[in-house]
Amino acid sequence: MVNSLAPGHPDPGSTDRTRLRRIPDKAVTERVTAYEILDAGLVAHLAVLQEGQPFVLPVGYARRGDEVLIHGSSGSRLFRTLAEGVPTCLTVTLLDGMVLARSAFESSMHYRSVMALGSARRLTGDEELDALTVLTEHLLPGRSRDARPPSKKELAATLTLALPLDEISVKVSAGFPDDDPADLIDPIYSKIWAGVVPMFTQFGTPIPDQFTPEDSPVPDYISTWRCE
Amino acid sequence: MVNSLAPGHPDPGSTDRTRLRRIPDKAVTERVTAYEILDAGLVAHLAVLQEGQPFVLPVGYARRGDEVLIHGSSGSRLFRTLAEGVPTCLTVTLLDGMVLARSAFESSMHYRSVMALGSARRLTGDEELDALTVLTEHLLPGRSRDARPPSKKELAATLTLALPLDEISVKVSAGFPDDDPADLIDPIYSKIWAGVVPMFTQFGTPIPDQFTPEDSPVPDYISTWRCE
């Protein structure tokens, strides 16, 4: 389950800190894969170090070019610490299925994960406004044309940060169980069912709030929402 | 999206580090809620600090009593660092839906999240064997009666750790949009659809590998698997 990267790959985002130490067959370095994973996810987990204690925060995010955008409350001590440019790590993990091997040891999960190391910078002015639109459009595709844009007061309550995708690692676990050859001919374990149970995330039926007019239709764009 | 805890709650797991700084209405402290979230999740994100750089690793996990169990490769430098008892943070986040408010600012996500701070200890002997069974049973309920238990060699390749749930915080975001009253009477924004789009994770059709005998049925227990 630990993120790692294949050694010696030409990816410019691979450094000594993110290069492989093990399981090279599970590592892929293509930046295009990293961006596909980031574009498919909704929630990232972000490290913030404070007085020697690391915290891991869940945050909504969006990718814009070679950066990941995040936003939080300007009243959040952890978010203010991030805005100061301390070293951080942002990880996005998509769980795709469970792998039932013949042994407990080889049983595992299908997942795709991206880890980005670096320091965030605070966005202001038009760059912040654009970032907030990108965030809304990634998290709620289509909604930015309906929703009211942020007011000055709301912007003052928001810290919008960008983390460069310079130093990244990608790991994809896929395929069937990699069982011990002895288990495949064992009189007991060779008989059991082994394979993969896929997992997927779906959206359910939209539920309007009490203030939505009865004649206000569910927006078209919601029907296009999909999870990978 | 930032984890926080309501102030002054009597939960013994709440300390200065995990107590609220903001959004008290989104904070719940009940330990029972924390354990429900932990029992419903499969993947945690774990912080490891190495030479001043925090890393966030995705890991499968299971709760056993007042501890969270994790395991990884004894060849993993980050896992070995964790086993030394450095301060860590483990966060589990379940995404339950998207909240479409009339403003971008009030739009958000439904989620449930637990953050645990502390230091992991390494498990050995029978305690490790029991922990590995608990892990298999949490991640693949029913499978431990079929799967081959770990061999000595496999155990040597595994680091099994327990993180105490002493210092925890819980955050649950639920309910309908909390729109600005002005938006509710605005001639444009009062007309748009607003509400919640639930999200849920499902298991798909199990896919056997090429070594599974044709007369080997899909195990009964898989049909009982559910995601919250």
Q: Write down the domain spans for chain A.
A: 24-224
Q: Return the residue of B nearest to A102 by Cα.
A: B147
Instruction: Select from A35, A32, A95 the least CA-distant residue to A61.
Output: A35
Asked if residue B208 lies in contact with residue B216, where contact means CB atoms within 8 angstroms, the answer is yes
Q: Which helix (H) or strand (E) holds A83?
A: helix A77-83
Contact A196 B206 (CB under 8 A): yes
Instruction: Tell me if B110 sits within 8 A of B96, measured CB to CB.
Output: yes
How many CB atoms neighbour CB A121 within 10 A? 15
Please compute, for residue B183, the number of CA atoms within 13 A of its CA located in the half-sphere on the CB side: 23
Q: How many CB atoms lie within 10 A of CB B153?
A: 10
Residues A119 and B143: their CA atoms lie apart, in Å, by 42
Q: Identify which of A18-27, B15-24, B122-131 has the greatest average pLDDT.
A: B122-131
Q: C-alpha distances in angstroms, A215 versus A99, A204, A218, A219?
A: 47, 21, 10, 12
- Which of A4, A72, A104 lies nearest to residue B149, judging by beta carbons? A104
Residues 6+ apart with CB under 8 A from A80: A74, A159
Tokens 């600090």 belong to B49
CATH assignment of A24-224, given 3.30.420.40, 2.30.110.10, 3.40.50.720, 3.30.460.80?
Answer: 2.30.110.10
Confidence of residue B30 (pLDDT cuts 50, 70, 90): confident
Q: Is A23 on the interface with B (CB under 8 A)?
A: yes
Q: Report which of A28, A48, A196, A174 is spatially closest to residue A114, judged by C-alpha positions.
A: A28
Chain A: give the shortest CA distance to residue B134, in Å: 11
Phi, psi of A22 (to 5 degrees): -165, 175
Can you tell me the distance from the alpha carbon of A204 to that of B200, in angstroms, rounded to the nearest whole number?
Answer: 7
DSSP secondary structure of B53-73: EEEEEEEEEEEETTEEEEEEE
The C-alpha atoms of residue B217 and residue B208 are separated, in whole angstroms, by 9
Provide mean pLDDT across the span B155-180: 95
Which residues from A are below 8 Å from B209, CB to CB?
176-177, 194-196
User: B78 with B48: CB under 8 angstroms?
Assistant: yes
- Is there a contact between A17 and B53 if contact means CB atoms under 8 Å apart? yes
228 residues of chain A, pLDDT tens digit each: 322 322 222 343 445 565 444 444 444 467 899 999 999 999 999 999 998 899 999 999 999 999 999 999 999 999 999 999 999 999 999 999 999 999 999 999 999 999 999 999 999 999 999 999 999 999 999 999 999 999 999 999 999 999 999 999 999 999 999 999 999 999 999 999 999 999 999 999 999 999 999 999 999 999 888 765
> A162 and B162 in contact (C-beta within 8 Å)?
no
Cβ(B114)–Cβ(B170) under 8 Å? yes
Query: How large is the ipTM?
Result: 0.88
- Is there a contact between A21 and B204 if contact means CB atoms under 8 Å apart? no
Q: Which residues contact A214 (CB under 8 A, 6 or more apart)?
A: none
Partners of residue B108 in chain A, C-beta under 8 Å: 60
> Does the beta-carbon distance from A76 to B207 stay under 8 Å?
no
Smallest CA–CA separation between B176 and chain A, in Å?
6
Residue type, A77: R
Q: What per-residue confidence (pLDDT) applies to B7?
A: 28
Please tell me if residue A184 touches chain B, with a CB cutoff of 8 Å. Answer: yes
Cβ–Cβ gap B148/A189 under 8 Å: yes
Reported residue count of chain B is 228
Distance, in angstroms, between B80 CA and closest chain A CA?
12
Q: How many alpha carbons fall within 13 Å on the CB side of residue A121?
A: 7
B216 touches chain A (CB under 8 A): yes
Continuous segment of H or E residues that includes residue A73: strand A67-73
pLDDT in tens, B43-81: 999 999 998 899 999 999 999 999 999 999 999 999 999
